[in-house]
Amino acid sequence: MSPEPPSAFAPFRYPAFRAIWIANLASNMGSMIQSVAAAWLMTELTESHLLIALVQAGATIPIMLLGIFAGAIADNFDRRRVMLAAQTGMLIVSAALTLTTYMDAITPLTLLFFTLAVGCGTALNGPAWQASVRLQVGPKDLPQAIALNTIAFNLARSVGPALGGILISIVGTAAAFGLNAMSYVALIVVLLRWHPETVPPRRTPMLTAIAAGIRFCTHSDPVRRVLIRGFAFGVGAAGFQALLPSLVRDRLHGTEIVYGLCLAAFGAGSIFAALWIGGARRRWGSDRVVTAASLIFAAAMLPVALTASLPALMIAAFVAGGAWVSTLTTLNVAMQLRSPEEILGRCLSIYQAVTFGAMALGAYTLGLVADLSSLPAAILGSAGWLLLSALVLRFVAPMPRRDEGRILP
């Protein structure tokens, strides 16, 4: 008889994981509010679809450019301290954005600068945070812990955008930015109080460390295929979120509250999918999950491109959110289970650089298409890419089988 699979909520038995999860939820909530405020503020500052899409790209470009260095830092230094430095830096940048907006000194370029600066903090924090999950739970609970962290992010995505839209309409974008700055405090306090038992990392010269991570990822066939699938999905899936502010403003003639509700629907779909994706992955395998989710995301884009209806857009956002989290959670678990501990941060940073770099590329490209052609053409283009890449890569770069290349049991 096969052993009973671990409970989806088993990681909450670990006090460190529980405290970090709650604090991270608050921080994610603030980040979602700031994301909504920044995107909507850009629609008030400019008519350019490209500049509006670059708000989304600005949050992911630093992950692409700096992520590999951040992974080497996570493996060479205490990961808790790396996270503390990143969270403190993002608090300072968010406070500066709040002050600049309050003084009515914000411009499209300064808004993009602050977005990039917060993205740099996210790039530094990401590999250390993801790699630290192994310090918070036992090996058998790692997939469930990753899924619960995804739920926290998407729970914030569900509530944060709607709350952000309401805040913007009542008290303005500066207050929304200020609330995000305060949201970092809880996580900083929890990290200051958390002292995990760790083996001091063996310091490696930065370029040597980066080369070792790249060498492993390029020579490991299972990991290489995961990266290819992440890149393909990132390019196609980025368009919806990047162009959503333009869709709400130009096709629905909606307000910031409507934009927040659409993002909330996306987050609700993500939570719904995150609750059952572990069972689906065990039953059908990673390749079927990633392929099906990509096709579902592509199908959800059709009503977005072809209609100007709020109910249709919200339903499509819900479906797309489920497909989004199904794909990214499956890719993340596949990377974590196949990456050695000593280079885990670098492997995860390379995964982030590839996937989020693809999202930045997709957001820029589709924003350009929307400016040169139309919003429906850009959305249909993203759907076509997802459809074609999912069908081709299932044969060219299938996801690793259950036991293929696994480091952890």
CA-closest candidate to residue 184, choices 67, 78, 37, 83: 83
Of 4-8, 59-63, 166-170, 182-186, where does mean pLDDT reach its minimum? 4-8
Q: Can you tell me the distance from the alpha carbon of 19 to that of 23, in angstroms, rounded to the nearest whole number? A: 6
pLDDT band (50, 70, 90) for residue 263: confident
pLDDT at residue 5, rounded to an integer: 57
pLDDT band (50, 70, 90) for residue 109: very high
CATH classification code of 12-396? 1.20.1250.20
pLDDT in tens, 295-342: 999 999 998 888 888 999 999 999 999 999 899 989 988 888 888 877
pLDDT at residue 343, rounded to an integer: 81
Is 345 a residue whose pLDDT tops 60? yes
Average pLDDT, the chain: 86
Task: State pTM to two decimals.
Answer: 0.76
Determine contact, residues 127/67, Cβ cutoff 8 Å: yes
Distances in whole angstroms, Cα of residue 193 to Cα of each of 15, 53, 126, 190, 226: 12, 39, 20, 5, 35
- Tokens standing for 1? 């008889």
Can you say whether the dihedral through the CA atoms of 351, 354, 360, 365 is positive or negative?
Answer: negative
Which residue blocks in 103-205 are alpha helix, DSSP H? 108-136, 142-171, 173-193
- Tokens standing for 407? 């480091």
pLDDT at residue 188, rounded to an integer: 95
Neighbours of 107 (CB within 10 A): 11
How big, in percent rounded to 5, are the helix, strand and coil portions of the chain? Answer: 85, 0, 15
Which residue blocks in 194-309 are alpha helix, DSSP H? 206-219, 221-246, 256-284, 286-306
Is 1 a residue whose pLDDT tops 50? no
Average pLDDT over residues 208-232: 90
Is 87 a residue whose pLDDT tops 90? yes
Is 102 a residue whose pLDDT tops 90? yes
pLDDT band (50, 70, 90) for residue 224: very high
Q: What is the per-residue burial (b if ≥16 Cβ within 10 Å, else e) of 309-341?
A: eeeebbbbbbbbbbbbbbbbbbbbbbbbbbbee
Average pLDDT over residues 199-227: 84
Average pLDDT over residues 12-28: 90
Indicate the length of the chain as a whole number: 409
pLDDT in tens, 377-397: 999 999 999 999 999 999 999
pLDDT in tens, 273-288: 877 877 888 888 889 9
Q: Can you tell me the distance from the alpha carbon of 392 to that of 378, in angstroms, rounded to the nearest whole number? A: 21
pLDDT band (50, 70, 90) for residue 291: very high
Average pLDDT over residues 7-30: 87
